[in-house]
Amino acid sequence: MGTHSIEPRTVPHKLSPPGTAAGDQKRDEFLRYLHEVWETLLVLPKKSDTTTLTETSRNAATVTAAARLSFGDGAADSPFSLMALIKPDVNDANDVIIAKENSATAEEWRLELTSSGHPQLVLSDESATASIGRRDATAIGTDWVLLQATYDGSRSAVGIRVYVNAARVDDTDASAGTYVAMENTAALVHFASRYTTKALFFDGRVALWAISPTQVSVERLWADKAAINAFFDLSL
């Protein structure tokens, strides 16, 4: 009987020293891989970043405000996904990882840790003063962790899924009021905080943020984890 083999999909390896040809090549391979899914916005923060960041796609947009990162029009929602590689310093403070919110009256969505260190994704309907959300009732810890969240656009909390290291963990509802849909409030996208006055700063380290206008499958989330493990030399 004949035999055959299946060639595994390659993923980027650990990054070589910055500024070297090998390091630049591995970084480009890593970005190319992630852009296959996270095509809307992908940011690898640098020490030189201050109040703005530059996305890594061909648009190279300066991230201060982005209407294209609104996923609701007041009547209907559309799918989207978020991802962040983080290392919290504490697990007893409400920390925002990424949010599209300018104020208490201009909120759309946010990925955050609760005051108990529980990861959750919350979507807001401003005109109805309502929200839907899902969270994990277990603290995320203080080691490096890959936090991922997806939403199918169904305007229901059951359409929200939260993953830690590519394993689904949302076991608790985080909804309030009668939700219809998110609204495009023209809010800014804030990294590691929320609101234009800057509140609920993330206490810890962030190595990666990504946003996609799709509901990313669990298979792709696992593949992302493998690529991130290889690139950052982690064992998530």
So what's the pLDDT on residue 129? 95
Q: pTM to 2 decimals?
A: 0.80
Look up tokens 């946003």; give the residue: 211
CATH architecture of 41-217: Sandwich (2.60)
Contact between 213 and 44 under an 8 Å Cβ cutoff? The reply is no
Q: What is the DSSP string of 23-65?
A: HHHHHHHHHHHHHTT--SEEE---TT--S-EE-SSTT--EES-
pLDDT tens-digit map of 181-221: 999 998 988 999 999 999 999 999 999 988 888 899 999 99
Res. 49 pLDDT band, cuts 50 70 90: low
d(CA 153, CA 216): 12
Confidence of residue 29 (pLDDT cuts 50, 70, 90): confident
C-alpha span between 22 and 16 (Å, rounded): 6
pLDDT for position 4: 36
Assign 44 a pLDDT band (cuts: 50, 70, 90).
low
180 contact partners, CB below 8 Å, separation of at least 6: 74, 75, 125, 127, 128, 130, 155
Two tokens, residue 201: 């700063």
8: how many CB neighbours lie within 10 A of its CB? 7
pLDDT value for 67:
58
Q: Looking at residue 168, what DSSP letter applies?
A: E
Is the Cβ–Cβ distance between 136 and 164 less than 8 Å? yes
Q: Report d(CA 224, CA 166) in Å as an integer.
A: 8
From 189, 186, 185, select the one nearest 42 (Cα to Cα).
189
Which pLDDT value is given to residue 66?
Answer: 56
Statement: residue 148 has pLDDT above 70: yes
* Residue 33 tokens, joined: 């891989």
